Chain A
Amino acid sequence: QKEVEQNSGPLSVPEGAIASLNCTYSDRGSQSFFWYRQYSGKSPELIMSIYSNGDKEDGRFTAQLNKASQYVSLLIRDSQPSDSATYLCAVGSQGNLIFGKGTKLSVKP
């Protein structure tokens, strides 16, 4: 059974701080990795994709991938209250995505 593990949180950070979200996966053959943001009662929104080891930056977001350790992370710099949401890690495997259960992030003003 392919699995994606995330700490459920809640992760609470003050406004302006860096939020660090982590994810591990079991399928060593996976090559595609994603972060989705989901506000309460809304649909998941794709915010980052990463395919190669290392860092990928997009605005305040940085995704980090370490395939040897089977580890993906998302850093949110200068966190804002509007970043408060559940963040889902997803890993591509055999034609489909396997989702973690999500980490709830709360950014306090």
Chain B
Amino acid sequence: DADVTQTPRNRITKTGKRIMLECSQTKGHDRMYWYRQDPGLGLRLIYYSFDVKDINKGEISDGYSVSRQAQAKFSLSLESAIPNQTALYFCATSDSLKAAYEQYFGPGTRLTVT
């Protein structure tokens, strides 16, 4: 069974719609992250959370919001989707007590905004 799961795996939505991407983990890690990946631009950090009450903006947080519902769940929302948010989105986790920088990724969500 996957340690880090993401739902949905694929999503096509229209400009202006609100969409939520969900991430769950069974690794028991305290830290969770959201990245997007675009061809030629690499992985870029959107938001990160070091524990349930600690949420921080990353490099490209504009147009996104997050919610850390529990230690195991971290959701990313696009309030009003736009076409340039079309990308591959990854959730990742790490354990601050063992190896804080070793991040483990979920399978990704491919989002298309038309």
Which residues of chain A have a CB within 8 Å of any CB of chain B? 32, 34, 41-46, 49, 88, 90, 92, 95-97, 99-102
Given known contacts A42-B108, A44-B105, is B41 in contact with A49 (CB within 8 Å)?
Answer: no
Report how far A90 CA is from B33 CA in the complex, Å. 15
B89-103: contact bitstring with A at CB < 8 Å (1 yes, 0 no)? 010000000011111
Give the 7 A-B residue pairs with the shortest CB-CB distance, closest first: A92-B101, A101-B42, A43-B105, A32-B101, A99-B43, A43-B108, A44-B105
Q: Are A99 and B102 in contact (CB under 8 A)?
A: no
* Interface membership of B45, Cβ < 8 A: yes
Given known contacts A34-B101, A49-B99, A95-B100, is B107 in contact with A42 (CB within 8 Å)?
Answer: yes
In the complex, the chain A residue whose C-beta lies closest to that of B4 is A43
Report how far A34 CA is from B105 CA in the complex, Å. 14
Report how far A44 CA is from B37 CA in the complex, Å. 11
Given contacts A45-B105, A95-B100, A96-B48, 13 further A-B contacts (CB under 8 A): A41-B88, A43-B90, A43-B105, A43-B107, A44-B43, A44-B105, A49-B102, A88-B42, A96-B101, A97-B101, A100-B42, A101-B40, A101-B42
A48 vs chain B, min Cβ distance (A): 11
B82 vs chain A, min Cβ distance (A): 23
* Interface membership of B104, Cβ < 8 A: yes
Category for how many chain B residues contact A = 20 to 34
Q: Which residues of A contact B106 (CB under 8 A)?
A: 43
Which parts of B60-114 form the interface with A (CB within 8 Å)? Answer: 88, 90, 99-108
B107 vs chain A, min Cβ distance (A): 5
In the complex, the chain B residue whose C-beta lies closest to that of A32 is B101
Report how far A43 CA is from B106 CA in the complex, Å. 7
Q: Which residues of A contact B50 (CB under 8 A)?
A: 95
A9 vs chain B, min Cβ distance (A): 13
| B45, B90, B104, B105 pick with most chain A CB within 10 angstroms | B105
| B101, B103, B104, B105 pick with most chain A CB within 10 angstroms | B101
A45 vs chain B, min Cβ distance (A): 7
Q: Are A99 and B101 in contact (CB under 8 A)?
A: no
